[in-house]
């Protein structure tokens, strides 16, 4: 009996513990339910943002490439050996600056031949005029003499002017060559000075080691000899700079003399030509113009004119042996060297204008109607990421590419410092739509439920009210609201729990509102 009693005691204790745990668990569940009910009745905390008035802007982002608006391939019009080609890639040039000189020997020979042909034709015309009636001989002879004088004076004037251009060009080329030699000599001085500094530093280092007993005297002597040798090299380089400067001054004076003398020669030749023409006009006034006389000389005059035209053509070809730059810019390509034979149409240099540059982009057909000439564009370049640039639309191709169905659009921007280089990668931003002074809310404030688009507006009493809205244009951060809200009202942008229509909410003192 006692044994059963002892076995029953632990069982009773266990049953008591189980009962106590069940009562405690039931009390915990009741407490949780009460807390949940309290939370459901409490006002949820939300983040609000005011309804504002601002512009809504849509932009079209596209990438493009920087291009030069003018890219000219300089080619010869005549065949000949290239005598002078002083420019290379990267050299800056001016409009009208001589870029290439072609050997004029063959063309000059053709000019002389055409001059001889013209003289022969004029001689035949003069011989025919000598056979006219004796009454006209004197007047005709005078006319022929004055015509010859006019032709001679004109030829002298043209030759003087051409000689002036050639001499001035040669003198300017000499000045440029002297300037180049001076710059090279200055560069030599800089290099020699750098070498002298290096060997001097080495000598001082070795001398210090020698004084401390870490090196031999021979190394000190060698380093000192190197310093002396490099000093001599520097002195020679400085002498070359002085020589080059003197040469530049001399060539400059010579160029000035050539220009002054050439201009005087041109004016003197012009005066002779005017005088000869006046004498010819006087002789023509005394001539008896007869139809028969004109008809008999028509064929020979035509021959003289044809010979003159051939001469002018040959002279034009001679002028083509000197090729000048058609624009201000930079040399971006060199395809031949002095001594090579230039042929018509074969490029010798490539020259690009860079004071302004283009950025060419492709846009879809949905964007093209929203663009116009002169429209501002924002340019960002990877090479100049910290300097967004403002450009403007300069071209819109009205025809789309047949393959991509894209339209070519070009924007132009100034490049006064030559920082923008053709081939650079550019990002272009073009404004396509803008709604001014729109009523806007943050994008996250707009919800879409079964009824449609809506926002939750918090009234002055702290209650959330559902408002159906009609949306307009939007951008990355805001949505324009056509109907539904007014400026100054506050809309919910964030809440921890869903907010019901008419539910009281807590804005947390405005914390978390959008900053502008």
Query: Residue 83 maps to which CATH number?
Result: 2.40.50.100
For residue 11, tell me if it sits in a domain.
no
Of the candidates 410, 404, 448, the one whose C-alpha atom is nearest the C-alpha of residue 426 is: 410
For residue 80, tell me if it sits in a domain.
yes
How far apart (Å, rounded) are the C-alpha atoms in residues 371 and 76?
42
Residue 142 shares a structural domain with residue 241: yes
C-alpha pair distances (Å), 483 with each of 427, 475, 480: 36, 18, 9
This prediction has a pTM of 0.46
Instruction: Say what the pLDDT of residue 392 is.
Output: 92
Instruction: Say what the pLDDT of residue 394 is.
Output: 92
For residue 229, tell me if it sits in a domain.
yes
Instruction: Say what the pLDDT of residue 201 is.
Output: 87
Element (H, E) at 269: helix 217-286
Q: Per residue in 296-345, pLDDT tens?
A: 677 778 888 888 888 888 788 888 888 899 888 899 899 989 988 988 88
For residue 66, tell me if it sits in a domain.
no
Residue 214 shares a structural domain with residue 298: yes
How far apart (Å, rounded) are the C-alpha atoms in residues 284 and 294?
13
Instruction: Say what the pLDDT of residue 7 is.
Output: 63
Average pLDDT over residues 276-285: 73
Residue 161 shares a structural domain with residue 287: yes
Query: Residue 363 maps to which CATH number?
Result: 2.40.30.170
Residue 311 exposed, middle or buried by CB count within 10 Å (0-12, 13-18, 19+):
buried
Residue 459 shares a structural domain with residue 478: yes
Residue 155 shares a structural domain with residue 260: yes
Residue 358 shares a structural domain with residue 406: yes
Q: Per residue in 259-272, pLDDT tens?
A: 787 788 788 878 88
Instruction: Say what the pLDDT of residue 513 is.
Output: 45
Instruction: Say what the pLDDT of residue 509 is.
Output: 46
Residue 309 shares a structural domain with residue 327: no
- The residue out of 388, 404, 434 marking a domain boundary is 434
Residue 480 shares a structural domain with residue 407: no
DSSP state, residue 496: S
164 has pLDDT over 50: yes
For residue 38, tell me if it sits in a domain.
no
Residues of 346-380 as b/e, b for ≥16 C-beta within 10 angstroms? eebbbbbbbebbbbbbbbeeebbeebeeebebbbb
- The residue out of 351, 366, 391 marking a domain boundary is 351
The two most distant CA atoms of the chain are separated, in Å, by 185
Give the residue, 141 or 436, on which the prediction is more confident: 436
Give the residue, 485 or 25, on which the prediction is more confident: 485
Distance of CA 444 to the CA centre of its chain: 43
Average pLDDT over residues 263-291: 73
Instruction: Say what the pLDDT of residue 454 is.
Output: 93
Element (H, E) at 177: helix 134-211
Q: What are phi and psi of 319, to 5 degrees?
A: -65, -25
135 has pLDDT over 60: no
Instruction: Say what the pLDDT of residue 421 is.
Output: 87
68 has pLDDT over 60: yes
How far apart (Å, rounded) are the C-alpha atoms in residues 283 and 479?
91
How far apart (Å, rounded) are the C-alpha atoms in residues 352 and 86?
17
Residue 177 shares a structural domain with residue 304: yes
Average pLDDT over residues 196-220: 80
Residue 202 shares a structural domain with residue 347: no
Residue 315 shares a structural domain with residue 440: no
Give the residue, 230 or 375, on which the prediction is more confident: 375
For residue 491, tell me if it sits in a domain.
yes
274 has pLDDT over 80: yes
Question: Which domain does 50 fall in, by range?
Answer: 46-54+436-510
Q: Per residue in 83-134, pLDDT tens?
A: 889 999 888 999 999 999 988 888 888 888 888 888 888 888 887 777 655 5
Give yes or no for a contact between 65 and 515, defined as CB atoms under 8 angstroms apart.
no
How far apart (Å, rounded) are the C-alpha atoms in residues 508 and 376?
44
Average pLDDT over residues 145-155: 79
Residue 390 shares a structural domain with residue 468: no
The band of 510, judged by pLDDT with boundaries at 50, 70 and 90, is very low
3 state DSSP class of 473: strand
Query: Residue 442 maps to which CATH number?
Result: 2.40.420.20
For residue 3, tell me if it sits in a domain.
no
How far apart (Å, rounded) are the C-alpha atoms in residues 17 and 331?
100
Q: Per the structure block, which two tokens stand in for 172?
A: 């300017």
For residue 23, tell me if it sits in a domain.
no
Q: How many domains does the chain have?
A: 4
By DSSP bridging, strand 98-102 and strand 322-324 are antiparallel
Average pLDDT over residues 412-420: 88
Instruction: Say what the pLDDT of residue 474 is.
Output: 82
Q: Per residue in 290-300, pLDDT tens?
A: 555 666 677 77
For the ranges 21-35, 231-245, 287-301, the lowest mean pLDDT is seen at 287-301
- The mean pLDDT value of the chain amounts to 81
Q: Per residue in 344-377, pLDDT tens?
A: 889 999 998 889 899 999 999 888 998 999 999 9
Per-residue DSSP letters for 229-253?
A: HHHHHHHHHHHHHHHHHHHHHHHHH
Q: Per the structure block, which two tokens stand in for 256?
A: 């000035």
Instruction: Say what the pLDDT of residue 514 is.
Output: 46
Q: How many CB atoms lie within 10 A of CB 133?
A: 11
- The residue out of 383, 406, 434 marking a domain boundary is 434
Give yes or no for a contact between 157 and 262, defined as CB atoms under 8 angstroms apart.
no
Element (H, E) at 40: helix 2-41
**To the nearest whole percent, how much of the chain has pLDDT over 90?**
12
């Amino acid at each position: 009996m006692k044994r059963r009693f002892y076995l029953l005691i632990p069982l009773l204790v266990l049953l008591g513990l189980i009962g106590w745990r069940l009562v405690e668990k039931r009390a915990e569940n009741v407490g949780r339910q009460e807390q949940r009910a309290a939370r459901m009745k409490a006002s949820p905390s939300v983040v609000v943002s005011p309804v504002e008035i601002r512009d809504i802007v849509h932009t079209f982002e596209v990438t493009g490439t920087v291009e030069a608006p003018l890219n000219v391939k300089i080619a010869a019009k005549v065949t000949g050996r290239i005598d002078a080609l002083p420019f290379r890639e990267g050299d800056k040039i001016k409009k009208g600056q001589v870029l290439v000189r072609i050997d004029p020997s063959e063309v000059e020979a053709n000019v002389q031949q055409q001059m001889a042909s013209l003289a022969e034709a004029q001689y035949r015309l003069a011989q025919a005029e000598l056979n006219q009636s004796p009454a006209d001989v004197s007047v005709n002879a005078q006319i022929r003499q004055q015509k010859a004088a006019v032709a001679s004076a004109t030829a002298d004037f043209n030759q003087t002017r051409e000689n002036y251009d050639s001499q001035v060009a040669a003198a300017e080329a000499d000045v440029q060559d002297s300037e180049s030699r001076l710059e090279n000599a200055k560069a030599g001085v800089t290099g020699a000075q750098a070498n002298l500094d290096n060997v001097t530093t080495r000598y001082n280092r070795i001398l210090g080691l020698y004084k401390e007993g870490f090196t031999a005297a021979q190394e000190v002597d060698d380093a000192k000899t190197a310093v002396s040798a490099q000093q001599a090299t520097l002195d020679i380089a400085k002498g070359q700079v002085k020589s080059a400067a003197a040469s530049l001054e001399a060539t400059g004076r010579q160029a000035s003399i050539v220009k002054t003398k050439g201009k005087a020669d041109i004016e003197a030749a012009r005066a002779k030509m005017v005088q000869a023409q006046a004498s010819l006009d006087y002789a023509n006034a005394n001539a008896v113009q007869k139809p028969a006389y004109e008809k008999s000389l028509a064929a020979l005059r035509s021959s003289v004119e044809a010979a003159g035209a051939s001469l002018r053509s040959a002279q034009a070809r001679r002028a083509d042996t000197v090729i000048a730059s058609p624009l201000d810019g930079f040399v971006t390509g060199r395809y031949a060297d002095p001594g090579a034979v230039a042929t018509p149409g074969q490029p010798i240099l490539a020259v690009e204008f860079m004071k302004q540059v283009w950025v060419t982009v492709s846009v879809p057909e949905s964007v093209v109607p929203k663009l116009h000439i002169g429209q501002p564009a924002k340019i960002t370049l990877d090479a100049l990421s910290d300097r967004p640039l403002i450009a403007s639309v300069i071209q819109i191709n009205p025809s789309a590419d047949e393959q991509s169905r894209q339209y070519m659009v070009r924007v132009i921007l100034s490049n006064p410092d030559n920082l923008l280089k053709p081939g650079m990668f550019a990002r272009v931003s073009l404004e396509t739509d803008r709604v001014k002074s729109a009523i806007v809310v943050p994008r996250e404030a707009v919800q879409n439920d079964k009824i449609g688009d809506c926002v939750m507006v918090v009234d002055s009493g702290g209650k959330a009210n559902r408002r159906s809205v009609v949306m307009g244009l939007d951008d990355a951060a805001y949505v324009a609201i056509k109907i539904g809200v007014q400026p100054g009202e506050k809309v919910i942008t964030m809440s921890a729990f869903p907010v019901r229509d008419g539910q009281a909410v807590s804005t947390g003192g405005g914390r978390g509102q959008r900053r502008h």
